[in-house]
Amino acid sequence: MALAFDEFGRPFIILKEQEQKARLRGLDAQKANVAAGRAVARILRTSLGPKGMDKMLQSPDGDVTITNDGATILEQMDVDNQIAKLMVELSRSQDYEIGDGTTGVVVMAGSLLEQAEKLLERGIHPIRIAEGYEMASRIAFEHLENVANKFEFDASNIEPLIQTCMTTLSSKIVNRCKRSLAEIAVKAVLAVADLERKDVNLDLIKVEGKVGGKLEDTELIYGIVVDKDMSHPQMPKQIEDAKIAILTCPFEPPKPKTKHKVDIDTVEKFQTLRQQEQKYFDDMVQKCKDVGATLVICQWGFDDEANHLLMHRNLPAVRWVGGVELELIAIATGGRIVPRFQELTSEKLGRAGLVREKAFGTTKDRMIYIEHCANSRAVTIFIRGGNKMMIEETKRSLHDALCVARNLIRNNSIVYGGGSSEISCSIAVEAAADKHPGVEQYAIRAFADALDAIPMALAENSGLQPIETLSAVKSQQRKQPLLWY
């Protein structure tokens, strides 16, 4: 290696044997890109389905994550290759849009790339392969529309929704409690859903977790759970018919915006200042009492003097509540967030039937439950579990179940799982390939072969002979296609 300078004085390095280093072009570049995509799909392939394995991932700072959620695995993986990054993006967009099926979509993409590589080796142009894949996907989509079943549900008959959410939870670590978790997910979605507009705002469902207890203790609360406790230990732990003042202004005297300095040179001046501060606190607490508030929830903290005064005036308070939680509390209780004490009126108070502080086990952990709210459109799923890893994985599993319930409310069509819909599409696409006279028919057949990757992976992960099982199921479908749908 040697350092040289050009005519402008800029340095550049001359590498020995530089002429031997060549950039990949043409078919070699395409094969390298396909190999990168297939490598990512191969990692996720073993996580597919109810018998799929979980992956243990260690972050650079030593945190361990155990999951079989495709989007989470790819998020945690350190991927450098640009094509592999596209696979990660694919999984992420599936997670944002659908919420479930993040593993299957990557396995499917890897299989399509694998089939495309065979076609490239036979000299078929990439554009013709892409066009063939487009045609095949349209055929498969139309076939799925034909074989899809619609089911009716309403607020009184939620069993079809629960059954469908249970299939989502079957492949998760929480599958022993899939019935109860599916019921919780469906009830939470229906509580916040607008069935007339077929719209669900998942932001109104708060998922909170606390280590301890067991998974079966997970519950749905028609209200909000805040991971805080009362600011003073002697404040009442339970308030019925609470009128809640939701404040974003601090319980302390106002500070001038300019730089200031107070000179105190006598005891009398200090007493005057102290009395002035106490009067500020007195006025603030009195303002809350005058409008009829029986509980104060504040975004900021307050010092011991204000805390003592609140307890002395019998006005329970919760401090350091986050902005997102304040918004949810305001939605649930029908209150308004008040930025200044001068704007506090009785109309801006939120109302809740019961506010209680609950302690957990032998630990000193306490949480505030705000229940029986004026507007029950904000709900909380409260997860319990033996350790942090279990709670995090349950949160991810419940997110998938919530998304499935939301999607079913938007569109109540379903196709059957276990690889049967993929096999059915594969048969339909293969049959349609003969009707296309051009080179695209090779790509259409390749698409049909790629669809078989999902049932093959499911059979493999279940410990069955993949080719033998797939052939048996395929022949069964060819003989009796109507029995599958």
Q: How far apart, in whole angstroms, are the C-alpha atoms of residue 203 and residue 371?
A: 18
Task: Give the residue numbers annotated as catalytic, written as ranges.
Answer: 69, 102-103, 400
Q: How big is the chain by its Cα radius of gyration, in Å?
A: 31
Q: How far apart, in whole angstroms, are the C-alpha atoms of residue 389 and residue 394?
A: 9
Record the tokens describing residue 90, joined without a space.
């694919």
Q: How far apart, in whole angstroms, are the C-alpha atoms of residue 357 and residue 239?
A: 9
DSSP letter at 176 equals G
* CA 453 vs CA 85, 87, 198: distances in Å: 21, 17, 34
CB burial class (10 A; 0-12, 13-18, 19+) of residue 81? middle
* CA 71 vs CA 76, 301, 401: distances in Å: 9, 38, 15
DSSP letter at 23 equals -
Residue 158 and residue 187 in contact, taking contact as beta carbons nearer than 8 Å: yes
Q: How far apart, in whole angstroms, are the C-alpha atoms of residue 419 and residue 396?
A: 23
Residue 295 and residue 285 in contact, taking contact as beta carbons nearer than 8 Å: no
Residue 198 and residue 409 in contact, taking contact as beta carbons nearer than 8 Å: yes
